[in-house]
Chains A and B, each alone.
Chain A
Amino acid sequence: MADLDVGPSGRRDRGNRSRGSNNHNFNRPPKRPRPDDSYMDDGYNERGQSQHDRRHRGTAVNARLQRMLVNIAGSTKLPQDEAMDIARQFGEHFDDEAVKTEFFDHLVQLIIEQPFRIPHVAAVAFYANDDKPEITAEAIKRVAGRTQEMLNAGQWKEFKLLLRFFACIQSLLEGDGVFFLLDQLFDTVVDLQSANENDVVGLELVKIILLTIPYALVSGGSSFYGKASELLEKTSIVATNRLPMETLVELYVSDSPEKPIPYHSALGLLQTQLEKEAESGWNFACIPRFPKYIPRKIDDDQPMPSAPRLHALPTIRIPSPVNPGPKLLFPEAYFSLYTDHELETVPKTTDVASSLLRDAIVDTINQLDGNRDEAARILVQLSNYWALDTFAPSGTPPDKLEEVAKDQKIPPGSTLWKSEDMIIDAIFSQLFKLPGPEHKLVYYHTLITQSCKFAPAAIAPSLGRAIRFIYKSIDVMDLELVNRFCDWFSHHLSNFEFRWRWAEWIEDLDRSNLHPKKAFIIAALDKEIRLSFAKRIRSTVPVEYHSLIPEAMDEDRSPDFKYDNPLTPFAQEAQTLLTLIKKRVPEKDIQETIDKIHEQAIGLDFKDVLVPSTDVFVTAICRLGSKSLSHVLSCIERGKERLLNIANTSPAARRQIVASVVEYWKDQPGIAINIVDKLLNYQILAPSTVIEWALGDYLGAGEALTEGWVFEMVANTVAKVSGRIHQIVTARLQKGLPAEQIQLVEATLTKDRESSRALFKLIEDSVSAVAQGSANHLIEKETNGELSAEDGQLIRDWAKRWQTVFIRKSQVEESVVGEEAVDAKIRLLAAEPEPEPEPESTSMHEGNGFAEHKVNGEEEMV
């Protein structure tokens, strides 16, 4: 125990050294000199000194190699020089087990996390093969291991990325190399597709096959063209087949002539693009090339190196049955904001580069959600990672592309795509992905914000073009996407001083409030105000918009209490009730006042006297709780028993609760939505009550369907119900659940599933009546001229868009929690081997070296 008698300096030293090995920050220059670079052993431990030296050298090498690897292609150096350099330096330390382990760990991780760099990582293995084929062999072995794991787990994206590594070293693989595996994958597709006509796993596999071929051909060269063509012939039927459920993922109203981009199935598009690429000689110009052989320093008496050593692709077993994986698979639509416009700023939809680049950018985005700064940084360097002459210089305006090309003598035939457009395009493809993207929508918001911060001059103009493009066709966009767009737009502006050229949209203010563009403006302003405040938002828009922001909101005070006006029926009782609730009097005193209201209400010919008394009671609660959400919650809690009673007694009074909240907060619907949400949590309101009110009492002739907040309220309510069922399904899918528990969970599941279906039916019945023009109020108002024919048509179109959204949501739910879906998951669960003991590390610990901290002396220090 030599450590025991060391002084403070020695102990500090320990801490320092271990930091060096445990706390790398690979992508940024270290703030302080790295201890492993400057470390001088102070000799406190004679016995261990040489050992320490060696270990220290090891960590320094480790750190350097990892830094080089994870930063490959990130600088102005030639990627092939970097790859060769890494291969050489790593070769020199290949006998050091620690260096080896860490290096390959990083190599595999880099493939999964930073897809842009896969060709470059593969290039390291490729060049290493010349002098030290052991490196290549080991890399292949390590990547293959991970590939098998991901395949077993149904982690398709990771599987695809790892496979790409093999594709990139196709020229070093024996026999058919990666094509052997692709053939096997296709056999699996055939099995899956013949077993189930709505199979989506097979589609995913075909996508993986098609996205692997280009990289394999670039590396493998012309000898594999035949293999590729063969495969492509086989995948055609699957890839170009249109599934009925594809209608659900369309971004625009499918039969509208106004949609700005036709529907493309991402898979179908990829298939035809590849077929086209085959005709023009499998060029794949955007994929970076690594020269086959760079002569090294060769001594005269050394023979020229012979053909490269080839490696066998390790056997990768496709499990049967195939694990569909944890994520919900859906056919994908290909969407672009900029494609096929007059000026070609992104690849045409006929060009395979559009799919290749999109795939890599989207994966980068989704894999790096752990650090949006790094994600944005890598994205804005997009052009670094692809073949030279793919992109125009950063920030070139679309109309200057030709000019700049001439000025800078960019060789003819090069493409001049704008990397900014491609980044924004890819982020929006996720923001607008149906039924939903991989991460929470706010991630994509924040990624756009971050990209704007890194490259404002380049990104901002692209973003402006994107907004205009979307706004122009917002009338025919899927309604859920309109709401996502509105949410993003307001959130984005809130990060940039609410700056937007509102003047551009002024003429749309003359339109009817029922018009989708006007409705969007109203909703967007509301959302901006929610994140800020009315006065501030008014100061950011032209005067023409001011009438859309009620003056009453400027003052920092609560909304009016309608019973302050003595002419309002029950005004006196309402005032009394307000005082009583404030004083926290016993229930029976409150009941006295309520009874008074009931007595009068009978005289006033109310069908249900509980309705006016509920209005008074709930409005009073809103008034008393108007200061903040916490205030209203505490008022609701005090009145909870009464509210529950009301809700259980009369359906009309139940709906009145929602009506009163919304009426009180009519200028700030966001607050009403929040309160209704809490009332659902207290189970004072049932989800069906909210729908019955919003799409019944409040529907009118269908005008309600045009209001963004109504959609939000309904969608939130549906999401809450779905979320609960998902939890129940998760509970059911726990391994080793006792029989009686299973019974209990399944009973709940059956019940909730039924009420969820009833909820969707309620929505469908209500909106379809409007869509078909058979809703009574709509007919009435159209007949008596209250609604113009034009407005009537607008409302019907809104209703159709509502219908599409909720049919989709209902079908998505069926595919997650429907009987068939759950049964399939239960069967898969039963087929799984018994779980191994829980590994010590959880996702929380990943990425910060948690496990190592324990051994580095931290505990002794504190």
Chain B
Amino acid sequence: MPPVRSTVERMDKPSSYASSKKRRRYRDDDASRVSPEVEDKLKDATTLYVGNLSFYTTEEQIHELFSKCGEIKRLVMGLDRFQKTPCGFCFVEYYSHQDALDCMKYIGGTKLDERVVRTDLDEGFVEGRQYGRGKSGGQVRDEYRQEYDPGRGGFGRALNDDYGERDDYR
């Protein structure tokens, strides 16, 4: 029997970012669809990428919120490549896949430190991925950002950079 489709779209699906590069090449492809191979990689995922944090948000704050979905095994702060200071993202690793899914459903899209944080299932932290990949050391999205964001270092640091936030942690 094929899997029964829910009458509402679920929020704990692996998001599309893991295949974002592929998608950029095939813009006609549906944005919400995740390729089976990616989905396969994420089917036991216990790690989440957490984005849109303020630079000032601490590990403790993240811990306080994210442990509402289960015990946290590891928390890796995203750092500016040069200054080694927080640059607005992190990886949260749980002990169980279910906790990671629950986090997608219950915490993704809610506020931490008065900012709406974004969560995405992630295939797992690898050393090196904690650093920003923008030219000036932070996340790429903060290079080109035209709006003033006091929580993320003011205006973008280099507006004419390549674009695509996902490059930061891939």
Q: Are A370 and B11 in contact (CB under 8 A)?
A: yes
User: How many angstroms from the CA of A375 to the CA of B101 in the assembled complex?
Assistant: 17
Q: Are B69 and A844 in contact (CB under 8 A)?
A: no
B148 within 8 A of A: no
Q: Are A369 and B7 in contact (CB under 8 A)?
A: no
B residues 1-48 in Cβ contact with A at 8 Å: 1-13, 19, 22, 26, 28-30, 32-36, 39, 43
Cβ contact of B102, chosen from A12, A440, A487, A630, cutoff 8 A: A440
Residues in chain B near residue A373, CB distance under 8 A: 11
User: How many angstroms from the CA of A78 to the CA of B7 in the assembled complex?
Assistant: 21
User: How many angstroms from the CA of A845 to the CA of B1 in the assembled complex?
Assistant: 13
Distance in Å: Cβ of A438 to nearest Cβ of chain B: 12
Known: A370-B105, A530-B61, A628-B60. A70 touches B7 (CB 8 A): yes
B127 within 8 A of A: no
Chain B at the A interface: mostly helix, strand, loop or mixed? loop
User: How many angstroms from the CA of A209 to the CA of B114 in the assembled complex?
Assistant: 47
Q: Are B13 and A847 in contact (CB under 8 A)?
A: yes
B110 within 8 A of A: yes
Q: Are B10 and A853 in contact (CB under 8 A)?
A: no
B107 within 8 A of A: yes
Residues in chain B near residue A491, CB distance under 8 A: 65, 68
Cβ contact of B28, chosen from A15, A445, A630, A854, cutoff 8 A: A15
The interface bits of chain B over 36-80 (1 if a CB of A lies within 8 angstroms of the residue's CB, else 0) are 100100010000000000000011110111001111000101000
A772 within 8 A of B: no
Residues in chain A near residue B59, CB distance under 8 A: 628-630
Number of interface residues of B (CB under 8 A): 50
Chain A at the B interface: mostly helix, strand, loop or mixed? helix
A141 within 8 A of B: no
Residues in chain A near residue B101, CB distance under 8 A: 844
Known: A370-B12, A845-B3, A847-B9. A670 touches B60 (CB 8 A): yes
Residue of B nearest to A16 (CB): B28
The interface bits of chain A over 644-666 (1 if a CB of B lies within 8 angstroms of the residue's CB, else 0) are 00000000000000000000000
The interface bits of chain A over 447-458 (1 if a CB of B lies within 8 angstroms of the residue's CB, else 0) are 001000000000
Q: Are A532 and B10 in contact (CB under 8 A)?
A: no
Residues in chain A near residue B7, CB distance under 8 A: 26-27, 70, 106, 109-110, 113-114
Residue of B nearest to A444 (CB): B106
Residues in chain B near residue A853, CB distance under 8 A: 33, 35-36, 39
Q: Are A442 and B36 in contact (CB under 8 A)?
A: no
B113 within 8 A of A: yes
Number of interface residues of A (CB under 8 A): 68
User: How many angstroms from the CA of A78 to the CA of B105 in the assembled complex?
Assistant: 33
B residues 95-125 in Cβ contact with A at 8 Å: 97, 101-102, 105-107, 110-114
User: How many angstroms from the CA of A849 to the CA of B106 in the assembled complex?
Assistant: 22
Between A25, A439, A442, A495, the greatest number of chain B beta carbons within 10 A of the residue's beta carbon is seen for A442
User: How many angstroms from the CA of A368 to the CA of B11 in the assembled complex?
Assistant: 10
Residues in chain B near residue A849, CB distance under 8 A: 3, 5
Residues in chain A near residue B13, CB distance under 8 A: 847-848
The interface bits of chain A over 758-776 (1 if a CB of B lies within 8 angstroms of the residue's CB, else 0) are 0000000000000000000
A851 within 8 A of B: yes
Distance in Å: Cβ of A622 to nearest Cβ of chain B: 14
Q: Are B111 and A113 in contact (CB under 8 A)?
A: no
User: How many angstroms from the CA of A25 to the CA of B10 in the assembled complex?
Assistant: 10
Q: Are B4 and A109 in contact (CB under 8 A)?
A: yes
User: How many angstroms from the CA of A718 to the CA of B101 in the assembled complex?
Assistant: 25
A residues 504-541 in Cβ contact with B at 8 Å: 530-533
Q: Are A630 and B75 in contact (CB under 8 A)?
A: yes
Residues in chain A near residue B107, CB distance under 8 A: 442, 446
Q: Are B68 and A531 in contact (CB under 8 A)?
A: no
Q: Are A442 and B8 in contact (CB under 8 A)?
A: no
Q: Are B61 and A861 in contact (CB under 8 A)?
A: no
Known: A70-B7, A845-B3, A846-B6. A449 touches B64 (CB 8 A): no
User: How many angstroms from the CA of A670 to the CA of B96 in the assembled complex?
Assistant: 23
Q: Are B11 and A372 in contact (CB under 8 A)?
A: yes
Known: A531-B112, A842-B43, A859-B36. A671 touches B105 (CB 8 A): no
A240 within 8 A of B: no
Q: Are B22 and A862 in contact (CB under 8 A)?
A: yes
Residues in chain A near residue B114, CB distance under 8 A: 494, 497, 532
User: How many angstroms from the CA of A24 to the CA of B8 in the assembled complex?
Assistant: 10
Known: A446-B106, A670-B60, A861-B26. A371 touches B8 (CB 8 A): yes
Known: A109-B4, A370-B10, A850-B36. A441 touches B68 (CB 8 A): yes
Distance in Å: Cβ of A157 to nearest Cβ of chain B: 16
User: How many angstroms from the CA of A15 to the CA of B43 in the assembled complex?
Assistant: 24
Distance in Å: Cβ of B59 to nearest Cβ of chain A: 4
The interface bits of chain A over 106-132 (1 if a CB of B lies within 8 angstroms of the residue's CB, else 0) are 101110011000000000000000000
User: How many angstroms from the CA of A847 to the CA of B112 in the assembled complex?
Assistant: 28
Q: Are B105 and A19 in contact (CB under 8 A)?
A: no
Cβ contact of B10, chosen from A371, A497, A531, cutoff 8 A: A371
Distance in Å: Cβ of B144 to nearest Cβ of chain A: 25
Q: Are B106 and A862 in contact (CB under 8 A)?
A: no
Residue of B nearest to A441 (CB): B68
A46 within 8 A of B: no
Known: A370-B10, A442-B107, A852-B2. A858 touches B61 (CB 8 A): no
Between B5, B29, B58, B113, the greatest number of chain A beta carbons within 10 A of the residue's beta carbon is seen for B5
Q: Are B60 and A442 in contact (CB under 8 A)?
A: no
Q: Are B60 and A847 in contact (CB under 8 A)?
A: no
A841 within 8 A of B: yes
User: How many angstroms from the CA of A143 to the CA of B141 in the assembled complex?
Assistant: 50
A443 within 8 A of B: yes
A89 within 8 A of B: no
Residue of A nearest to B103 (CB): A442
User: How many angstroms from the CA of A861 to the CA of B5 in the assembled complex?
Assistant: 24
A residues 474-493 in Cβ contact with B at 8 Å: 487, 491
Residues in chain B near residue A630, CB distance under 8 A: 59, 75, 77
Q: Are A862 and B35 in contact (CB under 8 A)?
A: yes
Q: Are B4 and A846 in contact (CB under 8 A)?
A: yes
Q: Are A449 and B110 in contact (CB under 8 A)?
A: yes
Distance in Å: Cβ of B109 to nearest Cβ of chain A: 8
User: How many angstroms from the CA of A19 to the CA of B1 in the assembled complex?
Assistant: 20
Cβ contact of B113, chosen from A114, A531, A852, cutoff 8 A: A531
User: How many angstroms from the CA of A16 to the CA of B26 in the assembled complex?
Assistant: 12
Distance in Å: Cβ of A726 to nearest Cβ of chain B: 12
Q: Are B61 and A23 in contact (CB under 8 A)?
A: no
Q: Are B35 and A109 in contact (CB under 8 A)?
A: no
Known: A370-B8, A443-B102, A530-B64. A23 touches B28 (CB 8 A): no
Distance in Å: Cβ of B88 to nearest Cβ of chain A: 16
Residues in chain A near residue B64, CB distance under 8 A: 530-531, 670
Cβ contact of B60, chosen from A494, A530, A850, cutoff 8 A: A530
Distance in Å: Cβ of A396 to nearest Cβ of chain B: 29
User: How many angstroms from the CA of A668 to the CA of B58 in the assembled complex?
Assistant: 14
Cβ contact of A370, chosen from B6, B35, B36, B111, cutoff 8 A: B6
User: How many angstroms from the CA of A16 to the CA of B10 in the assembled complex?
Assistant: 22
Residue of A nearest to B25 (CB): A862
Chain A interface (Cβ within 8 Å of chain B)? 12, 15-16, 19, 23-27, 70, 105-106, 108-110, 113-114, 368-375, 439-443, 445-446, 449, 487, 491, 494-495, 497, 530-533, 628-630, 668, 670-671, 674, 677, 839, 841-842, 844-854, 858-859, 861-862
Cross-chain pairs A/B with CB under 8 angstroms, 16 sampled:
A16-B28, A105-B5, A371-B6, A371-B8, A371-B9, A372-B105, A374-B9, A439-B102, A443-B102, A531-B112, A628-B59, A846-B3, A847-B5, A847-B13, A848-B39, A850-B3
Chain B interface (Cβ within 8 Å of chain A)? 1-13, 19, 22, 26, 28-30, 32-36, 39, 43, 58-61, 63-65, 68-71, 75, 77, 97, 101-102, 105-107, 110-114
Q: Apart from A628-B59, A847-B9, list 16 A-B contacts with CB within 8 A.
A: A12-B28, A27-B8, A370-B8, A373-B11, A445-B106, A491-B68, A497-B114, A530-B61, A531-B61, A629-B63, A630-B75, A630-B77, A844-B101, A846-B10, A850-B3, A862-B26
Rank and list the top 4 A-B pairs by shortest CB-CB distance, nearest first. A847-B6, A442-B68, A370-B10, A374-B8
